[in-house]
Structure 1
Amino acid sequence: MVKVKKIIVFPAAAIFLLFIFFPAFSKIQEIKQETRELNERIENIKKENSLLEEEAKKLTSDDFYIEKVAREKMGITKKGETIYKVLPED
């Protein structure tokens, strides 16, 4: 009789504990995954921020870079210059 109770009680207790701890374990795994994704996003933003800071520094101190940006992005030319656009062959 005691043996039968042990056979029933231990698996029942294991199943009960599984139902109690599995949702918490699942939530912990979900939070860990979210943390990894956020850390990756932070690293990407830090890299982008570093590149932007570098460009901002160039735009305030490097005359050649300022001229390059003005020519390429804004289409500014020097007096007497003519801009030619080369079209790709189809």
Structure 2
Amino acid sequence: MKKKIKGKNIIFAFLLCYVCYIFINQQITMHKIKDDIANKKIEEQNLKEKNKKLQDEVKMSKTDMYIEKLARERLGLTKQGETPVIDTKN
């Protein structure tokens, strides 16, 4: 006995395949979004750390010690009675 393939069975099989396709596609999309969120959180954390370092540097730049350090390093200034040392390795 051969069973005839009925139109309803074909439509049901097609709908079942379509639902499976949509479900798998949504799972892939959700996985990509979760990865993007994780990457953005890491990037946010890195930016927060960089911001904290820059804020600390701004606070330090207002002190006399920092200004003196910059004058010594960039301008080559020395205090009275000091002997300058030149690094020729660079």
TM-score, normalised relative to structure 1 = 0.68
Q: Which amino acid aligns with 1:63?
A: D
Could you say which structure has the larger radius of gyration?
A: 2
Listed as ranges, the matches of 1:36-51 within 5 Å are 36-51=38-53
Alignment: residue pair count: 83
Query: How many percent of aligned residue pairs carry the same amino acid?
Result: 29
Q: Which amino acid aligns with 2:45?
A: E
Q: Which amino acid aligns with 1:18?
A: C
Task: Report how far residue 66 of structure 1 moved.
Answer: 1.8
Task: Report how far residue 79 of structure 1 moved.
Answer: 6.7
- Residue equivalent to 2:85: 84
Instruction: Supply the RMSD in Å over aligned alpha carbons.
Output: 2.7
Instruction: Indicate if the aligned counterparts of 2:60 and 2:66 stay in contact, CA closer than 8 A.
Output: yes
Unpaired runs of 5+ in structure 2?
A: none
Q: Which amino acid aligns with 2:72?
A: R
Higher helix share: 1
How far apart are the structure 2 equivalents of 1:45 and 1:69?
Answer: 26
TM-score, normalised relative to structure 2 = 0.68
Listed as ranges, the matches of 1:16-55 within 5 Å are 16-55=18-57
